[in-house]
Amino acid sequence: MRLPLDEIDSSSASAVRLREAHLDSVLGGVLLRGQISLLHSPERAPLSFASHLVVVESAITSRDSVSVFIDSGSNYSPQLARSLCNDATAVSDVLSRLVVANVLGLSDLQEVASRLASLGNVGIVVLDSLTGALNLTGAPGTVGRQRALFQVLEVLRSIVNSMNIHLLMTDHSSRNWTQRSA
């Protein structure tokens, strides 16, 4: 049976309530607990901005949970996180509920996954960016690279299933795969 996406009944509540109504209407229905979503773009900056927005909004609206930003490079910006807080007096409170973890590959990602449960109530996990976290070497389609990809996706799937959280991942790539993107 085939159904258009807008006809699927989703009784789950959004893991994050975004303060901007237009963004909440677009992203809120996607950021459901127990699910994984991927934002993709040929540009990095909008993806990192969206990642910051989601973790900050989660920390603002869910005062009883922490939001996790898994940074696969130097994407996390405390200045951007501060600027997304609407009340200057609440900045330290909001930032205290943000956990930033740096990962450079599969082993780092597995370590972060093993520590997530110790954080208590996690509202959302954002991985910015999937490509950076994979840190894959070798030609696309090779057995070793495919196994590494599968391992990373399995770690991420187990996080979502065991903690009933939403995992938002970002990823970017240029149109010309032989050209390095900035």
What percent of the chain clears pLDDT 90, i.e. is strictly above it?
A: 34
Determine the pLDDT at residue 89. 63
58 membership: H or E segment, kind and range: helix 45-61
- Mean pLDDT for the chain overall: 83
Q: Is the dihedral of CA 88, 18, 125, 74 positive or negative?
A: negative
- Nearest CA to 85 out of 62, 122, 53 is that of 53
Neighbours of 153 (CB within 10 A): 14
| Per-residue b or e along 29-63, where b marks 16 or more CB atoms closer than 10 Å to that residue's CB | ebbbbebbeebeeeebeebbbbbbbbbbbbbbebe
- Nearest CA to 162 out of 132, 118, 126, 131 is that of 118
Question: φ, ψ for residue 29 (rounded to 5)?
Answer: -75, -10
Determine the pLDDT at residue 138. 61
Domains of the chain, first to last: 34-172 (3.40.50.300)
Note the pLDDT tens digit of each residue in 128-161: 988 887 776 567 678 877 887 788 788 889 889 9
Determine the pLDDT at residue 174. 66
CA angle 109, 114, 118 (to 5 degrees): 130
**Ordered per-residue pLDDT tens for the chain, 182 residues:** 565 656 655 556 777 777 777 677 777 788 889 999 999 988 889 999 999 999 999 998 888 899 999 998 889 999 999 999 877 668 988 999 999 999 988 778 888 988 988 998 999 999 998 888 777 656 767 887 788 778 878 888 988 999 999 999 998 876 665 555 44
Distance between CA 14 and CA 131 in Å, rounded?
Answer: 26
Note whether 126 and 103 are within 8 A (CB).
no
pTM over 0.95: no
